[in-house]
Structure 1
Amino acid sequence: MPRHLALLLPLLLLASPAATRLASAACAGEKFPAGRAYASCEDLPKLGASLHWTYDASKSSLSVAFVAAPAAAGGWVAWGLNPTGEGIAGAQALVALAGAGAAAPAVRTYNITGYVPLGKASTPLDFPATDLAADAAGGKIRVYGKLQLRKGMKAVNQVWQVGASSTGGAPDKHAFQADNLGAKSKLVLAGKAPAAAEAPSPALAPEAGGPSAGGDSGAGASSSTAPSKSPNAAVPAAGVSAPALLALALVGFLAAVW
């Protein structure tokens, strides 16, 4: 291959949309135990979490693996779907609490009807859940499950959260930093993701001292919520666009030829 073509090829590859998507899909590198594989994955925009899923439209079933690091050793992670709103109230959540020593994390299900403390016992979900399990690897907890969704569902709100500790088998309150409050987006099961899904607004948060999004067990939790904030405007990612890279490649090509 001529030298000027060899110089041009890497820049053209960098400018391609496929290369951009591949470089940004960190979730694709997650290694699951044998027998667990998923058709799609997404790096969630907050808390360093990712979601892996397979949706069977003919059966309206959703198999998921949620991956996140708890806020501290001995903490918990949570993920759920909310068919009625964008916040935590109404979420159908899977919660995994870190096990003691080498024990596997314990999985709970919570139908979160309001901002009240959650206990040790699971509550039934509006989306029946089966195949529940969890494991821990590389400082992260991975929670697995299969949800039976409503027929014809194409998109649904999702929320997720991490916490630092649990008490008596129930998750304690999480932090109320920007990432915690913004841990929500829309999960698109079929079709193209709407533009709003790229810039999720902050999640609804309880008043100071209230319970956590993943289900809190702190005493004196309030059942009222703080007003939801307006969606943030999307901020363009810093960097060089594909057309600009292509222009630079062309300049390099002409310089090499001349």
Structure 2
Amino acid sequence: MASATQHHRRAMAVLAVLLATMASPTATRAAAAAAGGCDGDKFPAGRSYAHCAALPYLGARLHWTHDAKTGSLSVAFVAKPAGAGGAGWVSWAINPTGEGMKGAQALVALRPSPAGPYAVNTYNITGYKPFGANSTAISFKTAELAADESAGEVRLYGKLQLAPGTEVVNHIWQVGSAVTGGAPTKHAFDKDNLQSKGRLALSGAALAPAPAPAAAAGVSSPAKGGSGAASPSGGKPSAATAAASAPVLMLLALAAGFMAIV
């Protein structure tokens, strides 16, 4: 009996070590994003979207409808500004030429004045320099740009004209804490801020995150990011969700084996 008890204790100790080893930050982050969900977001009348994804960083969600034949993409990006009392800005961008900040075509929702309504600026991010108060032209035609606030979060709306047949885009999202002189100031450089990017399949199925390049020191922009995969609502399970599930399934199999031995 003593030998069986000792064997059981050793088995449980091994399982504990495996659990700690296999619960990688990537899997944990993906599982947390999936649990957060996006289906509960509500929008004003006339705004509805075919797909949504809980993004793995900054507590953000993305809703979108894409017409592959025409290239029309309608989006609603939801996130909480980083400043106290809801101050700051939120941003969502597509980078048609790469995975990082440089080259991103950004939509930024902000209040140009503290007491004023929200507005949406566009920025073509050509380098690592502060943004101005005025929009710059981006490579996509835009329409219906708007933003509002609900329960402390900002909802950024817009329609982009992509090339017909586009299936996957590199997207970047970000939040900042202040707007000065009508311009968004630099965001924080915490881990979540530096990893807030990924690849998005416009059909509704998220893709695995792209490799994260080394962060550039001293860079400021609403579209700065690292890497991350979305957890979509509907469609096929994402690669991130599968990665989060694999360790759990392996642990269950190991547990069954140990129980059979004991």
SS in 1 for 2:126: coil
On the 8 A contact 1:154/1:191 being kept in 2, the answer is no
With over 3 angstroms needed to count, the CA separation of the structure-2 counterparts of 1:47 and 1:193, relative to structure 1, is closer
1:42 and 2:53 matched: yes
- Aligned partner of 1:52 in structure 2 is 63
| Corresponding residue pairs, total | 208
CA–CA distance in 1 between the matches of 2:74 and 2:158? 6
Give identity over the alignment, percent: 53
SS in 1 for 2:122: strand
1:236 and 2:247 matched: no
In the alignment, structure 2 segments of 5+ residues that lack a partner are 1-30, 229-239, 257-262
With over 3 angstroms needed to count, the CA separation of the structure-2 counterparts of 1:191 and 1:65, relative to structure 1, is closer
Which of 113, 135, 138 is matched with 2:126 structurally?
113
SS in 1 for 2:38: helix
1:29 and 2:51 matched: no
CA–CA distance in 1 between the matches of 2:185 and 2:250? 45
On the 8 A contact 2:51/2:65 being kept in 1, the answer is yes
On the 8 A contact 2:51/2:204 being kept in 1, the answer is no
With over 3 angstroms needed to count, the CA separation of the structure-2 counterparts of 1:173 and 1:203, relative to structure 1, is farther
| 2:37 aligned partner, one-letter code | A
On the 8 A contact 2:122/2:136 being kept in 1, the answer is yes
- Aligned partner of 2:200 in structure 1 is 187
Deviations 1:1-55 (A, max 9, x none): xxxxxxxxxxxxxxxxxxx9xx736211100000000000000111000000000
On the 8 A contact 2:195/2:227 being kept in 1, the answer is no
On the 8 A contact 1:206/1:212 being kept in 2, the answer is no
| 2:203 aligned partner, one-letter code | A
In the alignment, structure 1 segments of 5+ residues that lack a partner are 1-19, 216-227, 249-258
CA–CA distance in 2 between the matches of 1:237 and 1:86? 26
| 2:133 aligned partner, one-letter code | K
Deviates more, 1:236-245 or 1:171-180: 236-245
Cα distance, 1:190 vs structure 2 = 3.3
CA–CA distance in 2 between the matches of 1:188 and 1:174? 27
Cα distance, 1:58 vs structure 2 = 2.0
CA–CA distance in 2 between the matches of 1:165 and 1:137? 18
Cα distance, 1:106 vs structure 2 = 1.6
CA–CA distance in 2 between the matches of 1:58 and 1:35? 23
Cα distance, 1:59 vs structure 2 = 1.3
- Aligned partner of 1:84 in structure 2 is 97
